[in-house]
């Protein structure tokens, strides 16, 4: 079967209604959310049915879709009420549910006909025979396991026409997709039923335990306590491989991330797709700017996961940070007066007169300026520093901005460089 190159959707995480709207405004073609049952993110600000209805209405008005993650592994009794729940999602206009448990798949197919089902990455689909199996059961899309390589992706695409959704950005699981029980043992919280305590990201003590001797903690004698955490995935420089191999949906992880993260990453991947489909040369031209943009938002270090080989010890989080983001999210534009050139902004972090700031907006728009004539919006009183989040402020700007534009400021401007030989870091100015 030949590979048909299509325009992939940008699928963004939306932990709250605010994040849903921001993701769509910043280029997401679809968002995935959690409901108050059957999901794997118990602390992600999961949606009520009323919030889902508002989210679907907003998405529909912007030609976007809303998917609901219902990807928990059910134990006896967990499946009760699932049929009614799936019917409610269908009737609200949810475009698809993302499911891993065969029992929930069967219930949804039987009791909520018309609601599309996507197979969750929790089901660990890694070959085309598996995709064909789920296709024969009526599923139209499969989210591949994160362990699939680009070579395997190409082979899968050549042998099946099932829609393929693949992760391109965000956190990696140190365990095999959908198979981790570490949290169950370490904190009695079931990772596969929404309670993961992320035990792999804890800092563990390290002991010297000679045979038949007492154990001795060597904390402080090594550069850092042991951690099992992988660096995050980023495929921004390899979007051509995803498009040329027929991926239908590029998935961004992070339903618990901030609106700064959601807006930035959605904006970047939308711009990458647009550039490559315009021409490969245009993509190569814009690629450095795309990478730089991603490093303006708080995240872990980045690599390509399993796409180009099995990650080694250098793809783990240990020792000093090898690179850190340089910018801090400080606010968003709520209004702009074109006559006076005054922007009304909602503050999110400390803003000080004289700060160097950057406005960014949908369509990969960026402009920089300095904070001048900082005032409280309510009284128009001039202030030197605004320390309280959610305060409405006025600032003068030398260019037009739009409601919904985000604002960041250049922070320390420092990058930590990790020296593998010494295990130490040195800090240099970016």
pLDDT tens per residue, range 335-361: 999 999 999 999 999 999 999 999 999
Q: How far is CA 377 from the centre of its chain?
A: 33
Within a domain: residue 406? Answer: yes
Asked if residue 162 and residue 136 are part of one domain, the reply reads: yes
From the list 325, 354, 289, 299, the residue with the least C-alpha distance to 412 is 325
Could you tell me how many residues make up the chain?
430
What is the structure's pLDDT at 210? 74
Tokens of 295: 């490093």
Within a domain: residue 422? Answer: no
Q: How far is CA 110 from the centre of its chain?
A: 32
Asked if residue 307 and residue 341 are part of one domain, the reply reads: no
Pick out the chain residues at pLDDT < 50: 412-430
Domain with 147 in it: 9-172+230-311
The residue from 252, 281, 311 where one domain ends is 311
- Tally of domains within the chain: 2
CA gap 124, 88 in Å, rounded: 28
Cβ contact 203:226 at 8 Å? yes
What is the structure's pLDDT at 72? 85
What is the structure's pLDDT at 422? 44
CA gap 263, 296 in Å, rounded: 12
Within a domain: residue 218? Answer: no
Asked if residue 401 and residue 263 are part of one domain, the reply reads: no
CATH of residue 358's domain is 2.40.30.10
Asked if residue 158 and residue 124 are part of one domain, the reply reads: yes
Q: What is the pLDDT of residues 31-53, one digit of tens each?
A: 999 998 776 655 556 899 999 99
Within a domain: residue 423? Answer: no
Place of tokens 């989040």: 389
Within a domain: residue 166? Answer: yes
Within a domain: residue 220? Answer: no
What are the backbone angles phi and psi of residue 299, rounded to the nearest 5°?
-170, 175
């Amino acid at each position: 079967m030949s590979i048909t190159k299509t325009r992939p959707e940008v699928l963004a995480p939306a932990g709250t209604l605010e994040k849903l709207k921001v993701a769509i405004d910043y280029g997401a073609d679809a968002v995935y959310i959690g409901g108050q049952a059957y999901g794997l993110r118990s602390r992600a600000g999961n949606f009520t049915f009323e919030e889902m209805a508002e989210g679907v209405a907003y998405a529909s008005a912007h030609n976007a879709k809303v998917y609901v993650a219902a990807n928990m592994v059910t134990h006896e009794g967990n499946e009760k009420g699932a049929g009614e729940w799936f019917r409610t999602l269908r009737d609200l206009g949810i475009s698809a549910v993302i499911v891993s448990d065969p029992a929930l798949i069967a219930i949804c197919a039987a009791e909520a006909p018309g609601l599309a089902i996507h197979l969750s990455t929790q089901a660990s689909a890694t070959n085309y025979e598996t995709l064909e199996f789920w296709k024969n059961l009526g599923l139209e899309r499969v989210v591949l396991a994160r362990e699939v390589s680009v070579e395997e992706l190409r082979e899968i695409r050549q042998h099946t026409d099932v829609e393929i959704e693949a992760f391109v950005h965000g956190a990696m699981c140190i365990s095999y997709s959908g198979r981790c029980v570490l949290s169950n043992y370490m904190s009695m919280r079931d990772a596969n039923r929404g309670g993961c305590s992320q035990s792999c990201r804890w800092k563990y003590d390290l002991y010297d335990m000679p045979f038949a001797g007492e154990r001795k903690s060597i904390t402080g004698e090594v550069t850092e306590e042991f951690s099992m955490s992988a660096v995050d995935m980023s495929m921004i420089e390899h979007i051509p491989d995803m498009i040329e191999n027929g991926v239908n949906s590029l998935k961004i992880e992070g339903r618990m991330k901030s609106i700064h993260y959601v807006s930035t990453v959605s904006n970047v991947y939308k711009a990458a797709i647009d550039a490559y489909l315009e021409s490969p040369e245009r993509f190569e031209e814009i690629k450095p700017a795309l990478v730089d943009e991603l490093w303006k938002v708080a995240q872990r270090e980045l690599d390509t996961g399993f796409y180009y080989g099995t990650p080694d010890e250098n793809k783990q989080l240990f020792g000093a940070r090898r690179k850190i983001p340089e910018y801090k999210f400080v606010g968003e534009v709520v209004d702009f007066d074109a006559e006076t050139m005054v922007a009304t902004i909602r503050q999110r972090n400390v803003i000080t007169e004289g700060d160097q700031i950057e406005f960014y907006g949908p369509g990969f728009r960026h402009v920089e300026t300095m904070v001048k004539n900082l005032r409280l919006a309510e009284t128009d009183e001039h202030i030197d520093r605004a320390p309280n989040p959610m305060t409405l402020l006025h600032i003068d700007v030398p260019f037009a901005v739009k409601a919904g534009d985000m604002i960041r400021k250049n922070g320390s401007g420092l990058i930590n460089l990790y020296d593998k030989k010494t295990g130490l870091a040195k800090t240099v100015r970016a």
